[in-house]
Amino acid sequence: MAGSGGLLNPDALEQEALRQLAGVGDAGRGEWREWTGRAFHIRRCISVAEQRRSGLTIVDIRRTPEAARRAAALGDLIRMVPREVVIEEVGV
């Protein structure tokens, strides 16, 4: 969504992201918003109803040994992940 002069408008992109996520996830359980300068990202925790429908037990593994094992399994690909994401997810 471009603003004046073709520049990206973070407010408009945030509103569109929220529109796209309407009825998905549970912001009350956790929501993270990020403007990258090119895109607006919103991440949400899964809702209890979504978890029930999936039939799976959903577990937050951020900053756990499991997260570190999964990151290590990426090998050299881990370099493609932004540092701030690695710190948040893996804690290293």
Measuring CA to CA, how many Å separate 80 from each of 46, 76, 83, 91? 26, 8, 9, 16
Q: Domain total for the chain?
A: 2
Instruction: Give the global pTM.
Output: 0.62
Q: Are residues 49 and 67 in the same domain?
A: no
In eight-state DSSP terms, residue 35 is: E
Structural domain that includes position 37: 1-56
Say yes or no: 69 and 92 in one domain.
yes
pLDDT over 90 (residue 80)? no
Q: Does the structure show a pLDDT above 90 at 50?
A: yes
pLDDT at position 6: 52
- Same-domain pairing of 71 and 84: yes
Q: Which distant-in-sequence residues (6+ apart) come within 8 Å of 23 by Cβ? A: none
Closest CA to 58 of 69, 67, 68, 48: 48
Clarify whether residues 51 and 67 are in a common domain: no
Provide the token pair at 56. Answer: 């799976």
pLDDT on residue 8: 81
**How far is 28 from 74, CA to CA, in rounded Å?**
31
pLDDT at 33: 94
Whether residue 44 is predicted with pLDDT greater than 60 in this model: the reply is yes
Say if residue 26 is in the same domain as residue 44: yes
pLDDT at 18: 96
